[in-house]
Amino acid sequence: MQMPAVAFDIKAGYLLTMYSEENFIVFPEGDIQEIPERLSINMLVDINGNPVPLPLRTTKTLVYRISQISKKEHRGGCEIYHYLEQLTAAELAEYVRI
């Protein structure tokens, strides 16, 4: 986890903290992985949380859909959790190039 950046204001004599935003994907089994950027609902992503380019070449691909997003705010920042649901081969069929 990243710590928020901190600066000291000499004139005022107090610490200034920067706001940090951390993004995570949550797999159906409950495992959590940090990702570099925010995602949107219904976006299709791979196992690393990267957007999947469409059309797909085959249905034999591991693809997840962002089904829910939650935000946990805390002092100095927030954590954004993107919950994944795995798509079946039948669901992927509509995204395959024929």
- C-alpha span between 9 and 90 (Å, rounded): 58
Q: pLDDT tens across 24-38, in order? A: 999 999 999 999 999
Q: Is residue 7 part of a domain?
A: no
Block means of pLDDT (10 residues each) for the chain, 98 residues, are: 50 65 97 97 97 94 97 92 97 91
Q: Is residue 88 part of a domain?
A: yes
pLDDT for res 76:
84
Q: Is residue 61 part of a domain?
A: yes
Q: What global pTM score does this model have?
A: 0.79
Number of domains in the chain: 1
pLDDT for res 83:
98
Q: Is residue 1 part of a domain?
A: no
Tokens of 38: 């925010």
Point out which residues pair with 21 in neighbouring strands: 78
pLDDT for res 8:
47
Structural contact between residues 80 and 24, judged by C-beta atoms closer than 8 angstroms: yes
Which range marks the domain in which residue 66 is found?
Answer: 20-95
